[in-house]
Amino acid sequence: MSRAAGGTEADPEIVLRLEGVRKAFGPVTVLDGIDLDVARDEVVALIGASGSGKSTLLRTVNLLEPIDDGRIVLGGDDISDPRVKVDAVRARIGVVFQHFNLFPHLTVLDNVSLASRHVLRRPKAEANARARELLERVGLGDKADAYPDRLSGGQQQRVAIARALAPRPAVLLLDEITSALDPELVGEVLDLVRTLKEVGTTILMATHEMAFARDVADRVVFLDSGRIAEQGPPEQLFTAPRTDRAREFLTRFT
């Protein structure tokens, strides 16, 4: 099987696969045997109570947390192998976190082109052209020369999404990207994620926006104490949860 196809050895349509992933912090098991596939162009929403392991799961995929057991396979490559080149793996994974982490001393354009230039070593003109194209796509073409502090929180998150997409990642990880925003700014960021889905972007996102998950996700995964307690299409999971744990959670959060 060609690795260039971007899938796993078993199924080229699977972009990301977690197999029996375990992670403990000291005595506390936070991910307790996670098996999860994300297919090409699929949008998967991770939901679950605070502390259920959503962020830790995303951080293990981006190699911010080493795992204790299991495997993480990206495009056919075992990225949980300790010998992998971390920067090269991260260039294949776009990440946006809850808190804006744009570089305040760089313009919006430089924030977006940075990884292309320094990690992928693309020429400056090419990296900047790609960054301008992405800024247009997120509706911020006119902000290229601004510094992040002149942008609203919603605009900053849209820049962060453009930056994450710049290296053409195989998968985009989004961790509660609207939870630090004022309510009136949430919509523009969620609309952008919806647009990304329409153009075919593979997304794994933790969210507490249940209406959004229901609307945009192809599949919803409910995490409970570091385990996948239940998963399915949003219509099924939100209207007819099969487990008591999911039912209790949804009663509290919807």
Q: How far is CA 49 from CA 26, 107, 187, 224, 226, in A?
A: 21, 36, 22, 7, 10
**Partner that binds at residue 75, options Mg ion, ligand ADP, none, CB closer than 5 to 8 Å by kind:** none
- Residue closer to ligand ADP by CB (options 140, 212) is 212
Strands 171-175 and 28-39: unpaired
Q: How far is CA 179 from CA 32, 51, 94, 111, 190, in A?
A: 26, 15, 19, 22, 11
Q: From CA 245, how far away is CA 250, in angstroms rounded?
A: 9
Q: From CA 60, how far away is CA 155, in angstroms rounded?
A: 27
Q: How many CB atoms lie within 10 A of CB 17?
A: 23
Q: Residue 65 gets which letter from DSSP?
A: S
- Residue closer to Mg ion by CB (options 111, 222) is 222
**Partner that binds at residue 220, options ligand ADP, Mg ion, none, CB closer than 5 to 8 Å by kind:** none
Question: Which residues lie near ligand ADP (CB under 6 A)?
Answer: 25, 30, 48, 50-56
- Residue closer to Mg ion by CB (options 166, 174) is 174
- What track of x and - describes contact with Mg ion for positions 37 through 76 (by CB under 5 A)? -----------------xx---------------------
**Partner that binds at residue 52, options ligand ADP, Mg ion, none, CB closer than 5 to 8 Å by kind:** ligand ADP
**Partner that binds at residue 169, options Mg ion, ligand ADP, none, CB closer than 5 to 8 Å by kind:** none
Q: Where on the chain is the footprint of Mg ion (CB under 5 A)?
A: 54-55
